[in-house]
């Protein structure tokens, strides 16, 4: 059994989750479910990023303390993920006191290892990005992503010596030890690292809502350092080695090795197999995060993959434009499966794309026609034609038919290993289309009329077996539908899976 530890970003909890957050989380869920079905020891982590100026500002605006604010919003994320059938193993909140302690320990480790230095710093800070921007990055004096001017900040801060990791990072990335995908983005990252890495400030004097900097309570730890560490501290908090490895000098380091050895039932162990996110935060995950781990002598994640950004009806999703899609609303109308299916089949994972409610509607109908109807028709015919005693005897056995033989399995391992969700779904839907065509061509009703019982039996058995293969392949993508299919294939009682949209 191999371990598979997969993560989503922890989303800023300054507002309710939107469809963009759902996109990454659904993709991670498909992989988690796929690996579970394969028998891997999966740990799927998601959560919320709860500290920093951005959250403190949102809380103030809502007239709440930051703590009240995040405690009130956190359930919204959990509810949305539940609605979308997200099978996470843990929901991580950075306000977890254990996490805060481990973050401080980690920063102390970096200090002990000589990678932290106090310096005067003046820079342009974008609160929405929670990062300093360079003059050259600004577009007409504004942050290119948020279209707002950054604020000038002058502080004495603690710096992480990122510049010392340029060669080590390049070595790990170019050797493939740290995999970055897709390839085009890997090349961008490598090019940028080669231009040189600058040390980064990892504390804030002006931000109160955060983890206190060890030894200097007037400063808090930079929210991104706190956030990235969630992937690692989760293995300390929820891993199987909890409290089993007290080591006063390097508690984090030793525990991680133990965790790797001791992992047995379900707990996460460092390193992660895959960090998923969009391109906006790839630099943090493929450069800053690995450098932090190298500085603490910890293993690097195996793979970091950035998908694209999507627009809605050709425009960036924004509250001002009013085109933000609430995942809860679309799930209420179309069900979780159609939303999951649509988002992952709309455009290639890794590229930018566009989504719209009209196309979601079409995707729902495609599922209803190609898959839902196919199940109904097949099972109705199996029931209807089993009047023939010979057929009846066989059809009674249908539910227990020993399958699938390899003919009926739809091989999507390669696509899923490459995170090609759209490709996998295309392959699966092709099988459904072929079965529909096969029925149209063989016309079981004509075979019945002509008394060709053996042929009729063979045709329906073949479709039946393909439906079993289909339900297996669909399981990670649209679990509710796949479960319904499996149940109906077992009981041979057809029930509508995709009701007509009202």
Residue 81 is a binding residue for ligand MSP (CB under 6 A) = no
Residue range at the interface with ligand MSP (CB under 6 A); choices 164-172, 260-268, 278-286, 398-406:
278-286
Radius of gyration over alpha carbons of the chain, in Å? 26
CB of 349 or CB of 498, closer to ligand MSP:
349
Torsion of CA 136, 140, 145, 150, to 10 degrees: 80
Residue 24 is a binding residue for ligand MSP (CB under 6 A) = yes
CB 23 to ligand MSP: min, Å: 5
Q: Which position's Cβ is nearest ligand MSP?
A: 20
Residue 12 is a binding residue for ligand MSP (CB under 6 A) = yes
Q: Report the alpha-carbon distance of residue 15 to residue 326 in Å, rounded.
A: 12
Catalytic site residue from 143, 236, 275, 285: 143
Nearest to 126 by CA among 152, 100, 104, 103: 152
| Residue 301 and residue 207 in contact, taking contact as beta carbons nearer than 8 Å | no
What residues are paired with 156 via a beta bridge?
120
Active site residue 18: yes
Q: Which of residues 120-139 bind ligand MSP (CB under 6 A)?
A: none
Q: Report the alpha-carbon distance of residue 192 to residue 288 in Å, rounded.
A: 13
SS3 147: coil
Tell me whether residue 223 is exposed, middle or buried, using C-beta atoms within 10 angstroms of its C-beta: 0 to 12, 13 to 18, 19 or more.
buried
CB of 18 or CB of 394, closer to ligand MSP:
18
Token pair in block for residue 422: 């759209």
Catalytic site residue from 3, 35, 126, 186: 126
Residue 42 is a binding residue for ligand MSP (CB under 6 A) = no
Q: Report the alpha-carbon distance of residue 126 to residue 108 in Å, rounded.
A: 27
Residue 347 is a binding residue for ligand MSP (CB under 6 A) = no
Buried-exposed string 488-498: b where 16+ CB fall within 10 A, e elsewhere = bbeebebeebb
Residue range at the interface with ligand MSP (CB under 6 A); choices 20-28, 179-187, 243-251, 444-452:
20-28
Q: Which of residues 139-198 bind ligand MSP (CB under 6 A)?
A: none
Active site residue 146: yes
Active site residue 78: no
DSSP classification of residue 368: I
Active site residue 486: no
Q: Which of 91, 238, 283, 309 binds ligand MSP (CB under 6 A)?
A: 309
Residues forming the site for ligand MSP (CB under 6 A): 9-12, 20-21, 23-24, 49, 227-228, 230, 277-278, 280-281, 309-310, 317
Q: Which residues are identified as catalytic? A: 18, 21, 126, 129, 143, 146, 316, 319
């Amino acid at each position: 059994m191999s371990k598979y530890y997969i993560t989503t970003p922890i989303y800023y909890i300054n507002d309710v989750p939107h469809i963009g957050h759902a996109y990454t989380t659904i993709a991670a869920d498909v992989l988690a479910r796929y690996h579970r079905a394969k028998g891997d020891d999966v740990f799927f982590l998601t959560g919320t990023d709860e500290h920093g100026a951005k959250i403190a500002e949102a809380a103030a605006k809502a007239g709440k303390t930051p703590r009240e604010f995040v405690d009130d919003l956190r359930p919204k994320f959990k509810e949305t993920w539940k609605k979308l059938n997200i099978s996470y193993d843990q929901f991580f909140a950075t306000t977890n006191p254990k996490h805060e302690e481990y973050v401080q320990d980690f920063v102390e480790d970096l200090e002990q290892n000589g990678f932290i230095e106090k310096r005067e710093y003046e820079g342009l800070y974008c609160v929405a990005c929670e990062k300093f921007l360079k003059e050259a990055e600004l577009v007409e004096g504004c942050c290119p992503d948020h279209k707002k001017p950054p604020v000038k900040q002058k502080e004495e801060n603690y710096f992480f010596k990122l510049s010392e990791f340029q060669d080590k990072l390049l070595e790990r990335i170019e050797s493939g030890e740290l995999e970055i995908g897709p390839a085009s983005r890997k090349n961008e990252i490598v090019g940028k690292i080669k231009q040189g890495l600058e040390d980064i400030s990892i504390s804030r004097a002006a931000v109160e809502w955060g983890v206190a900097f060890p030894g200097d309570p007037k400063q808090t730890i930079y929210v991104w350092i706190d956030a990235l560490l969630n992937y690692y501290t989760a293995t300390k908090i929820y891993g199987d080695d909890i409290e089993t490895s007290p080591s006063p000098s390097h508690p984090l380091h030793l525990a991680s090795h133990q965790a790797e050895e001791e992992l047995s039932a379900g707990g996460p162990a460092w390193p992660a197999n895959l960090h998923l996110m969009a391109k906006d935060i790839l630099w943090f995950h493929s450069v800053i995060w690995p450098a932090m781990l190298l500085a603490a002598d910890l293993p690097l994640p195996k793979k970091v993959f950035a998908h694209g950004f999507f627009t809605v009806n050709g425009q960036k999703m924004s509250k001002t434009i009013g085109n933000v899609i609430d995942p809860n609303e679309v799930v209420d109308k179309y069900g979780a499966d159609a939303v999951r299916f649509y988002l992952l089949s709309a455009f290639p994972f890794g590229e930018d794309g566009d989504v719209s409610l009209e196309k979601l509607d079409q995707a729902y109908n495609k599922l209803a026609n190609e898959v839902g109807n196919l199940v109904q028709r097949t099972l109705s015919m199996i029931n209807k034609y089993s009047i023939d005693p010979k057929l009846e005897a066989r059809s009674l056995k249908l539910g227990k038919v020993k399958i699938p033989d390899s003919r009926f399995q739809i091989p999507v391992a390669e696509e899923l290993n490459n995170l090609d969700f759209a490709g996998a779904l295309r392959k699966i839907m092709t099988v459904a289309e072929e079965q529909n065509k096969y029925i149209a061509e063989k016309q079981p009703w004509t075979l019945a009329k002509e008394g060709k019982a053996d042929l009729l039996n063979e045709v329906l058995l073949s479709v039946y077996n393909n439906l079993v293969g289909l339900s297996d392949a669909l399981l990670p993508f649209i679990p509710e539908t796949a479960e319904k299919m499996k149940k109906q294939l077992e009981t041979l009682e057809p029930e509508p899976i995709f009701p007509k949209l009202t």
